[in-house]
Amino acid sequence: MRGRALLAVAVALVVLAVALTRLSANQYYYFAAYVIFQYVVLATAWNILGGYTGYVNFGSAGFFALGAYTAAILIKAFPVPFPVLLLAAGTVGGLLGLSLGYLTLRLRGVFFSIATLALAVVLQTLIVNWEYAGGSRGIYTMRPATVLFFDNYVEFLFVVMLILALGALATARWIEHSRLGRGLAAIRDNEEAAECMGVPTLRLKLVAATVSGALMGIAGAPFPYYVTYMEPASTFNLDYAVNSLAMPMIGGATTWVGPLLGAVLLGTAQQIATVTISSALNLLIVGVVLVAFVILAPDGIIGLVRRRRGGRHA
Amino acid sequence: MTAGILLDVRGVSKRFGGFEALTRVSLQVREGERFGLIGPNGSGKTTLINCVSGALGSDEGEIRFAGHDITRLPAHQRTRLGIARSFQIPKPFVSMTVLENLCIPAEYAAHARFPGAGADVVAEAMEILRLIGLEAKAHAPAAGLTQIELRKLELARAMAARPRLLISDESMAGLSSAEVDEILAILLALNERGIAIIMIEHIMRAVMRFSQRIVVLDAGARIAEGGPGEILNNPAVEKAYLGE
């Protein structure tokens, strides 16, 4: 029943978004909303491995950028239709996630996290030294002149990213309520006990890492069309890694609602700050809010709400 | 009664770097048997159990369970075959309730072995909690349990995997005398249901009362085997515990 209600909300949101593009309001709003939706995907994807399974990935920027570069290179090489970009970026991200999953065999805790950070640096170095991908000069991507149904390409990307965000949330919600999600929670709580209770820990970790990586890759796929010019330093920016980790932690990392809340709140705050104060202030906001939450509400907003409710009933 | 051999450990060795924790240890546990594994601290009991449950791989030897060679199987597959264990230091799933803790092995181990058994995971878990005496805490978070409740949860969770062999690794360490009796009664009740049990314990009173047969380890090697009476009167065992 709840699932159906949520599906209805999702469909309504897409219809609303499409209707909004008919209003031809200021283009900036679509740009800003796109970024927030993109963070919903990234935060949700991060949370599948970080929040559900307990493996903290500092390399989200690498996954995102890999998806973006996969798309940019494909666009440069062949005239590919848009859905193929999503599929290709998802596949590449998923494969990278799978290899990350194998890392969990040997590395846990902070050691795993450091390895993920290193992974992102290695990928960035590869791109910087790859002439065809633009190297450190960057790569230009031409938007198609027209796109079916929409007047403007940004409006199209805005709707696409909303659908991707909803898809990511649906995936996370499904995992959370499935046998897979319960197994992942057991791994997060105590991996050794989980294995001894019959949970195939390696297989589950591989699935979580692959799904997480694929979603991050997909989040990057529309990026070349969005910015039209990409270069490694900004595409592999630490902002992506920090945000996709901070947003679930601020929202609450054990449920699919947490990353959504965190991404919408923090993403909006950053957009407002960029316009009103300065664009350099973004990461400072994230830092301050994250520190405040780690100290005052370690289980995020969801944890705060639950504690309030639990307190009243107990 | 000559029941079949359930667990057959043949010449298992385990080394940690230069330290030989187990040296060609062999032992057999029969179906439905109450089996005691004792030895001084550091004698290799937990290492042996880790090799049997799959938490550690063994360097040498063979382990067979119910006719299967399980020497190279990962731990979760051994659990599915019917080996379940409790941990010396309780390792509950802290983000879950007591009942949810039991649902993990019920879903992942018992269900894998008995297709269709997953239909009523919760009812089955409640039944085990009743048997263990934890049903009042079913919906309490596992993070807030007392020490004896944690020990009971360890046993209950192992039971939820529907084992044929239950390994109880020092489930009584640090408990009061009355609590020891309580755990002992639980283990006896579980054995009544036909589950073979390996008890690793330092509390001699409990091991002697519980076990039908005992194997003694010292410095990674097997030094004695027999009924409780024989073990108590064995000079080698006395030497291992008390010195000469």
Chain B touched by A196 (CB under 8 Å): yes
Whether A104 shows a pLDDT value over 50: the answer reads: yes
- For residue A144, the enclosing domain spans 26-237
pLDDT of the residue at A312: 45
List pLDDT tens digits, range B88-125: 899 999 999 999 999 999 888 887 666 554 467 888 88
Nearest CB among B80, B93, B110 relative to A186 is that of B93
Query: Same domain, yes or no, for B227 and B173?
Result: yes
Q: Looking at the 3D structure of chain A, how many domains does it have?
A: 1
Percent of chain A's residues with pLDDT above 70 = 98
Task: Give the pLDDT mean for A247-252.
Answer: 90
Split at pLDDT 50, 70, 90, the class of B1 is very low
Residue B191 lies in a domain: no
Question: Nearest C-alpha of chain B: how many angstroms from A176?
Answer: 13
CB contact under 8 A, A197 and B80: no
List pLDDT tens digits, range A4-26: 888 888 888 888 888 887 776 78
Query: Same domain, yes or no, for B11 and B71?
Result: yes
List pLDDT tens digits, range B30-61: 999 999 999 888 888 999 999 999 988 889 99
Average pLDDT, chain A: 89
Task: Give the pLDDT mean for B185-206.
Answer: 90
CB contact under 8 A, A196 and B112: no
- For residue B12, the enclosing domain spans 1-82+164-177+198-237
Query: Same domain, yes or no, for B157 and B168?
Result: no
Query: Same domain, yes or no, for B42 and B159?
Result: no
Q: Looking at the 3D structure of chain B, how many domains does it have?
A: 2
State the Cα–Cα distance between residues A216 and A196, nearest whole angstrom: 31
Residue A181 lies in a domain: yes
Give A303 or A122, the one with higher predicted confidence: A122
Nearest CB among B74, B79, B96 relative to A185 is that of B96
Query: Same domain, yes or no, for B14 and B126?
Result: no
CB contact under 8 A, A196 and B93: no
CB contact under 8 A, A189 and B105: no
Query: Same domain, yes or no, for B38 and B8?
Result: yes
Contact A94, A211 (CB under 8 A): yes
Query: Same domain, yes or no, for B75 and B149?
Result: no
List pLDDT tens digits, range A153-193: 888 899 999 999 999 999 999 999 999 999 999 999 999 99
**Which of B83, B89, B91, B164 should we substitute to test contact with A (largest number of A Cβ atoms within 10 Å)?**
B91
Closest residue, chain B, to A184 (C-alpha): B104
Query: Same domain, yes or no, for B24 and B129?
Result: no
Residue B71's CATH number = 3.40.50.300
Whether B19 shows a pLDDT value over 80: the answer reads: yes
